[in-house]
Amino acid sequence: MATAIVEAKRKKKRKRKTHPELSLETSGLVALHRSRFIEWHPTAVVACESTSDGSVVAVARESGSLELWDTDSWTCFQRIPGSESAAITCLGWVRDRVTGCWRLFSGGLDGTLIEWDIQAQRSKHVADSYGGAIWSFAIEPEAGLEEGAPHRIAVACDDGCLRLFVVEDGVPGISYLKSFPKVEGRALSVAWHPERHALLCGSSDGCMHVWQIGPTQELLRITTGDGSGAEQCIWAVLVLADGTMVSGDSLGKLQFWDAQFGTLLYAFQQHKADILALAASPEGDLVFASGADVQVALFRRIKEKTGIDRWVFIDCKRPHTHDVRAMAVIPQPDADSPLLLTGGNDSQLFAYSVSRFTKEHATRITKRPEPPELQLAVPTDATGPSGRLLCMQRSHLEVWQLGQAANRLLPGASPSQPQEGMEVEIAVQPRLLVKLEMAGPSHNLSSAMSPDGQLIAVSDHSHVRLFKLDVSEEDGLQNPPNVYSQPLPAGLPGACRMAFLPDGKRLLAVAADGTASLVDIQNAKILHTFTEARAKQMALPSGLAVPQRVQRASRSLLPPVAAVAVSADGCWAVIASARYVNVFNLESLEHQGRIPAPQESGLITCVALGPASDALALGFASNQVALYDVATCKPSAWTMQNKHSLPKRLLDMEGSICGISFNPSPQAAALLVHTQSSFCHIDLDKPLPTDRPLKKVRRPHPNSSEAVPAGHNFRVLPLGHPCLLLGFVSPTAALLVERPWTDIWQGFPAPVYRHRYGT
């Protein structure tokens, strides 16, 4: 087995094709099939909000899906699928002082307030706004909240009213409290006064209203327009720690207003289009603004020698290519500065240091936002790069027949002296076999395909569906296959993760709470139910003060199921959460044991079972890799010997490991691990390399460079495009699914035009 898998040389882009390439090693040739036929459509970021301890950030997308990110490693540890009618506009967290857990709420243009069940990946409680579309909401500041007092949520509604809803500790759901008088236009934005006695509301008629909460009374009405008669929407408002009010409007004006009299203090026309989002530092001396002109601008309060405060524009950055629609400041108690997070129509998330905004570049959180769920299906007797690829995106599934490479190089190549990066002729092009549109209001939760590619299971929140593809031999691949629905047990719940056993006769379906059902497909019955991986509610010690019994959000919100894998011989199954792995013996139908993740490794991001039935590989957010023996649930000899000496080039790969693939040959102890932008080949039989500096070699192009020369173990290769999937399809071939970001970028709505010098 060759230990070098190469990145392609830059060629003229050819869409929807596979590019096989060769890698030369002393032990033979390896073909890397680079495929770009998968359609990938990430959607805009419309809202983001962090927990009060800053350990978790919730992100809402235009598709209605929600993402939970761990801010220590910037790993997305939970995704909640959306629905066709979802139109989320705002997010907020409430810390329940009875249970100690964090509760997530959202509001949307469909006029509903939703509390989300994060573990079950679905809505828990839905309440009507009683005023149409919800443009924004604001949750009452937790600091200083009296013991036993409910949490109040101020909601800006389409009918022009502000409404108050309450959330009781220990009681699920949201209750209506009161409405404020209706004003002209729509209520678009709302913010709490730091002392919680008043609310600031921005409307679509260019006015701001300050409402007293106790006895309902309008304290101030501020007209933000300049008298020109231009329509002016107040898209975003803030109230700073000293009571100063800030507004951002559809004319691109950022304005600061006096807390007592509502007089204009300062106005800035830094933005050339709508200001859609505002955020402030905890001290209130820094304000960030962004919107349709993509610039993220910083304004600072400066104290003059006379003792008078003055607001000034400091700097701006433009990491986004399209409208910025979401912005939040994230507390970082263990760091010297909070973080600013922005998201927009380009589907990207960027993080900035608040205190070093002018000195440091923005950091891209992920290069593959909202990726499709992909799964390879390769028959165990396959001798070449054949098989099928399952792609799940929101409400539909696609099944692709993989292409095949010819046993010859392209014309002009020397067969006697093949070189790395040489392209090989394609004998069979990849082909879309079938596209299945799933009926139902909610998007797909999970999917799986049998190793022979004939059975497909797909699940939403309520139930699992099974389909069989029938491709007759005489048809070859010229005609679409017939698709038949197959029966499943009536009591089978919806599954968040699924995996077929190698024989294709049994299906392991794991519910969101960790309950695993082993299903006999032929007889449509449940053979056994495993409950050992179910989430256990930990009882809180009584008599402790609230802060002592509250865990960090990043620990309490972790789901019980993150990944599922089944061994090649069908003897073992593993169900992994972010912190531990449960191992099950499928022959004796018993729980074999639990493997905890090392504390220093971070969250578990992926798992894989090797061709040798006792080998389990774990990938972590810290880019560490560990091997375990599933029979004993203990670290392997390789891990015990090397766990503290993994090469720096592996640990420093950009992003976190999101996929592991074993070489299917039992004689080749090799792994491919990949992040969103690079991958590494690991030969378990070779010694670990030293991290000595390597001699630089002049390359024809940066994208054809290799971080480590051929023949070295732990060879890391950067990728020029986001990696959606990487895995072995045979002992001598691997499949890389990628898409150039330029292709994705073209599908976004056009941004505001900005003239650039020299164009």
Q: What is the DSSP string of 412-452?
A: T--TTS--TT-BEEEEE--EEEEEEEPPSSBPP-EEEE-TT
- The string of pLDDT tens digits covering residues 99-113 is 889 999 999 999 999
Tell me the pLDDT band of 228, cut-offs 50, 70 and 90.
Answer: low
Residue 548: pLDDT band (50, 70, 90) is: very low
CA 206/CA 196 separation, integer angstroms: 24
Q: From CA 109, how far away is CA 105, in angstroms rounded?
A: 14
Please identify which residue in the block is written with the tokens 């082909």: 431
Residue 15 scores a pLDDT above 80: no
Tell me which of 256-265, 700-709, 745-754 is least confident: 700-709
What three-state secondary structure class fits 246? strand
Most confident of 138-152, 346-360, 604-618, 735-749: 346-360
Residue 639 φ then ψ, to 5°: -70, -45
One-letter amino acid for residue 587 of the chain: E
* Domain 43-179, classified CATH 3.40.50.720, yes or no: no
pLDDT on residue 547? 42
How far is the C-alpha of 256 from the C-alpha of 239, rounded, in Å? 10
How many Å apart are CA 259 and CA 273, to the nearest integer?
26
pLDDT of residue 404: 82
Residue 623 half-sphere exposure toward CB, CA atoms < 13 A = 22
pLDDT for 414:
53
Measured distance CA(258)–CA(264) in Å, rounded? 6
Most confident of 186-195, 422-431, 470-479: 186-195
Of residues 408, 404, 378, the one with CA closest to residue 390: 378
pLDDT of residue 30: 72
d(CA 505, CA 518): 10
pLDDT at 7: 31
Task: Between 574 and 602, name the one with better pLDDT.
Answer: 574
The pLDDT of 692-707, averaged and rounded, is 44
State the Cα–Cα distance between residues 455 and 485, nearest whole angstrom.
10
296-303, strands of its sheet edge to edge: 275-280, 286-291, 296-303, 309-317
Q: What is the distance between the terminal CA atoms of the chain, rounded to a whole angstrom?
A: 51
Residue range(s) of every CATH 2.130.10.10 domain in the chain: 43-179, 373-402+434-531
Rounded CA-CA distance 334/414 in Å is 58
pLDDT at residue 234 is higher than 90:
yes
User: Could you give the CA distance from residue 60 to residue 109 in angstroms, rounded to a whole number?
Assistant: 13
Cβ-based neighbours of 315, under 8 Å, separated by 6 or more: 297, 298, 357, 358
In the predicted structure, residue 728 carries a pLDDT above the cut 70 = yes
pLDDT given for residue 25 in this prediction: 46
- Nearest-angstrom CA–CA distance, 361 and 105: 32
Q: What is the average pLDDT across 70-95?
A: 93
* Reported CATH class of domain 373-402+434-531: mainly beta
Distance between CA atoms of residues 222 and 245, nearest Å: 11
**% of the chain exceeding 90 in pLDDT:** 71
At residue 701 the predicted structure's pLDDT band, cuts being 50, 70 and 90, is very low
The β-bridge relationship of strands 234-239 and 217-223 is unpaired
**What is the DSSP annotation of 248-261?**
EETTS-EEEE-TTT
pLDDT digits (tens, 9 = 90+) for 674-693: 999 999 999 999 998 876 54
Angle at 170 between CA 166 and CA 173, to 5 degrees: 45
> Predicted confidence band at 364 (pLDDT cuts at 50, 70, 90)?
very high
Give the pLDDT confidence score for residue 304 in this predicted structure.
Answer: 85
Q: Which long-range contacts (CB under 8 A, 24 or more apart) does 334-341 make?
A: 338/54, 338/281, 338/282, 339/54, 339/71, 340/279, 340/288, 340/296, 341/48, 341/50, 341/57, 341/365
- Region at 159 (left for phi over 0; alpha for psi -120 to 50; beta for the rest): alpha
The bridge status of strand 75-80 relative to strand 88-95 is unpaired
Q: What one-letter code names the amino acid at 618?
A: L
